Structures are given as structure tokens and as C-alpha cells.
Amino acid sequence: MTDPVLTLSGVTAGYGPTHVLKGIDLTLARGEPVSVIGRNGAGKTTLLNTIMGLTKMHGGAITLGTRDITALPPFRRNAAGIGLVPQTRDIFKSLTVEENLLAAQSGDATLDEAYALFPRLKERRRNGGGQLSGGEQQMLAIARTLMTGPDLLLLDEPLEGLAPVICDQLMQVFDDIAATGTRTVVLVEQHAEAALTFARRALLMAGGTIVHDGPAAALRGSDLLERHIGVALHS
Ligand SMILES: Nc1ncnc2c1ncn2[C@@H]1O[C@H](COP(=O)(O)OP(=O)(O)OP(=O)(O)O)[C@@H](O)[C@H]1O
Ligand SMILES: [Mg+2]
């Protein structure tokens, strides 16, 4: 693999003394989109949180480019190029859309880029975060993370609870971001169909381990999906 952006070697991590991730080996290449699927409690969020520095590491190492970031706190990982959009959609409800974006801005990320991806946010730029619909809040949460200029964009179930028409719009935006080839997009998604359509490479997680890392197409029609997430997708 050329130009790895992130490498996890033998990573064991969790919360306090609890081990949730059990020996994760993973290499992400620059610009290569990846989707992560797995049933509730499989460890998907913990994987993203661990990459962001939000869990307790019990063993192993994490490298960003050639830099060992295992001991770096989250804000330094963010400055180094990792951006996480958490399942909780973190925005400031009392600030306007534009203030939310400017508060997150670092490096050379611009409002114009954010508004080009999300024209709806431009229309609502003077509205308070708390006045936005669920879909708009998710757009704002994603745009805020993009304002930090990440090389690696981690999306934790961004479609959860949103109307199908909004899900389609967001998936199109993720495709657009991935298509530039400059950011590596990692999409955690419960909807297996959306996840397997998004990326050619898919990780299937179960019990804090990666049980499949390879072509998304190979999961279609295989019994792995049925065994680990209880759905069958036809090829
Ligand atoms: N803050 C926490 N403290 C202790 N244990 C936790 C914490 N967060 C998650 N866990 C445990 O870690 C395991 C993996 O949880 P995780 O949230 O990573 O799963 P997930 O795959 O993201 O699930 P979901 O699809 O429901 O979001 C679960 O057993 C969960 O109970
Ligand atoms: Mg989760």
C-alpha cells in the first residue's frame, strides 16, 4: 500500500480497565474510503474514539503518516489532521450556523468550501444551531469537522435517525469528499447497503475485532454478514 495515512498495530483499548478493542491491526491509505459495519456493541465507535484519542489504550501503537501519535491527546490529533464527527452531533445550539463554523476553523479551511458542500447551511447561516432540523444539525456537525481541515475524516453513523431524502444527500456529499482523493473518509454505518455502496473496502467488526477487512463486494452474498449483523445482502 502506498502512502499510508494511519496505521494501528496490535491496538487494545477501552474505557478504564475494560478492553473493548482486542488487538486491532489496520492500515488506511491516503484518499481510500473505507466503511465500517457491525452490530450494536461491536466496537465501531470505540475504534473511531481510539483513533481520535478518546479511549484508554492498553497496548499497541497508532501512527499518523510517519508520526507515532499513540500518546497524543485528542486536540493534538485534531491539529495533526484527524477529524471525528461523533454519533452525538456536537454543535453549539446558541451560536448561529456561521459562528459554529468559524469557531471550528483552523488552517486554511474556508466557509466557501463548507457552503459549497452544504448549500443548505449557507441559506441558514444566520439561524441558531438549535433552530436547525436534525438533518441540518448533522450537516453542520460534519461541516464543523471539515473546518478543521482533516486528512482523515471519521464519521460515526451520520445517517442515524434521518429521513431517507437527507440520507441520500449526505451520502452524495460523502462521495464528493472521498472523490477528491485528498481526504480519507471512514464511514461507520449500520445500514449495510449504504456502507457497502459507499466504499470498495469494508471492515466488518464483531466483539471488538475486525473479522473482515477487504472488498465490500465480497461481503455481499457471504454468510459473514448474516452471522455478524443478521442481514443478508444479495450480490
Ligand atoms: N463509555 C463507555 N464505558 C464503558 N464501556 C463502554 C463505553 N462505551 C461503550 N462501551 C462498551 O464498549 C463496547 C463497544 O461499544 P461501541 O459503542 O464501540 O459499539 P458500536 O459498535 O459503536 O455500537 P452501536 O452500533 O450501538 O453504536 C460495548 O460493549 C459497550 O457497552
Ligand atoms: Mg457506535
Q: Where are the domains of the chain?
A: 1-80+189-225
Does residue 42 line the site of ligand 1, with CB under 6 A?
A: yes
- Hey, CA dihedral for 150, 18, 89, 93, is it positive or negative? negative
The residues, any chain, with a CB within 8 Å of residue 59's CB and separated by 6 or more, are 10, 11, 12, 23
How does pLDDT run along the chain (235 residues), one tens digit per residue? 457 799 999 999 999 999 999 999 999 999 999 999 999 999 999 999 999 999 999 999 999 999 999 999 999 999 999 999 999 988 999 999 999 999 999 978 899 999 999 999 999 999 999 999 999 999 999 999 999 999 999 999 999 999 999 999 999 999 999 998 889 999 999 888 889 999 999 999 999 999 999 999 888 878 888 888 876 666 5
| Ligand 1 mutation target, pool 11, 19, 22, 46, most atoms within 8 A of CB | 46
Provide the grid cell at 153.
475524516
Residue 44 Cβ inside 6 Å of ligand 1? The answer reads yes
CA pair distance 69, 217, nearest whole angstrom? 32
Q: Which pLDDT score, from 0 to 100, does residue 4 have? A: 78
86 within ligand 1 shell (Cβ under 6 A): no
Ligand nearest to the CA of 19: 1
- Cα of 113 vs centre of ligand 2, distance in Å, is 28
1-80+189-225: CATH topology is: Rossmann fold (3.40.50)
pLDDT at residue number 235:
58
CA of 162 to the centre of ligand 2 (A): 16
**In this structure, are residues 34 and 57 in contact, taking their beta carbons and an 8 Å threshold?**
no
For residues 164 and 144, what is the distance between their CA atoms, to the nearest angstrom? 23
pTM beyond 0.75: yes
